Chain A
């Protein structure tokens, strides 16, 4: 921690207006290297930031009589970006760390999120399986975005739907996470999906 006057803050043009009443969040999930950080960076209006959490891993099956001897500290980082929606509302996008077991570290990261974008890479579809299962268990609505890496196999959307065992209403779209317009389209698809869910159920729980 540095002296207070040396702590940098947002640039003047990045400051939120006083009228900003509340923030909402969306999470971008998927296995390691699928493009989460890239997507956060391409749509964010601010330079992406990083929040960290440090935790202690208790030794497993290790004699713990000497306390810290069997504990290791791990730091987990999560990058995020921000989009101003209106004078009252701001939207945050969190690119979650790949290891699902760390998600609990951040209060309400998934509980309160409006929804999630699951990024998949068709060369390694399975690295995003676990995160999808976790979202299903927690009842977090999600859309699937297929990041188009050049040497990746191309599957028909319906083959992907079958492989990912997704119900027909869950949107699956191709994207290029490096392009703002493409990442924005993914977020739009998520919002339309949430609208449809709300129209059908009256709620998003």
Chain B
């Protein structure tokens, strides 16, 4: 039996810029001023408008203070859960908030200084192989 045949693709010469869609809706707009080239463009994230901090799924969030009595429930929950470092993805899961809504909430909290963010390790910025070696050691212990 012969398996189906695939054809490899080349790296896009114009690598997709971080594919963050504008979360802004254009109420009443025709939506035709920007002709969608990719199916992605037909989708917009549902949620509040506004600038969002560049938070990765695995940016670690750490609380800087105990929740003030006046904190809204979501913020109080974030501050409680982030007594130890926790990723944005985990916060989104525990609070049952969509990732985009989670980043909006965290953007406010970062601006207010109630939480810290620890930036993720990204492929493009690995200084050397030591991180890869550390990961292998960690996996060996699993």
Contacts and interface: CB of A to CB of B under 8 A. Distances in A.
Interface of A: 1-5, 7-10, 15-18, 20-25, 43, 45, 49-58, 60, 64, 67, 73-75, 80, 82-86, 89-92, 94, 101-109, 111-115, 122, 125-126, 129, 132-133, 136-141, 153, 155, 159-160, 163-167, 180, 184, 187-188, 191-192, 194-195, 198-199, 203-205
A155 B137 CA distance: 32
A126 B43 CA distance: 25
Mostly, the A contact residues are mixed
B77 A7 contact: yes
B57 A89 contact: no
A143 B89 CA distance: 24
Contact of B7 (A45, A56, A89, A165): A165
Contact of A25 (B1, B58, B67, B128): B58
Given A1-B73, A4-B67, A204-B124, A108 B135 contact: no
A126 B86 CA distance: 37
B121 A22 contact: yes
The 8 closest A-B pairs by CB, nearest first: A85-B138, A112-B122, A4-B76, A49-B93, A23-B58, A163-B3, A104-B19, A4-B77
A194 B40 CA distance: 29
A73 B40 CA distance: 14
Contacts of A199: 129
Query: Dominant SS at the B interface?
Result: loop
B43 A56 contact: yes
A55 B60 contact: no
A92 B131 contact: no
A56 B46 contact: yes
Given A4-B73, A24-B58, A104-B21, A55 B44 contact: yes
Contacts of B112: none
Interface string B1-29: 11111111111100110111100000110
Nearest to B1: A153
Interface string B40-74: 10111111000000111111101000010001011
A111 B18 contact: yes
Contacts of B89: 49, 51, 80, 92, 94
A25 B23 CA distance: 24
A84 B119 contact: no
A189 to B, nearest CB: 10
A54 B45 contact: yes
Contacts of B15: 138-139
Contact of A20 (B55, B60, B94, B103): B60
A4 B44 contact: no
A16 B60 CA distance: 10
A198 B126 contact: yes
B93 A73 contact: no
Contact of B139 (A109, A164, A187, A204): A187
B134 A112 contact: no
B9 A86 contact: no
A112 B20 CA distance: 13
A92 B142 contact: no
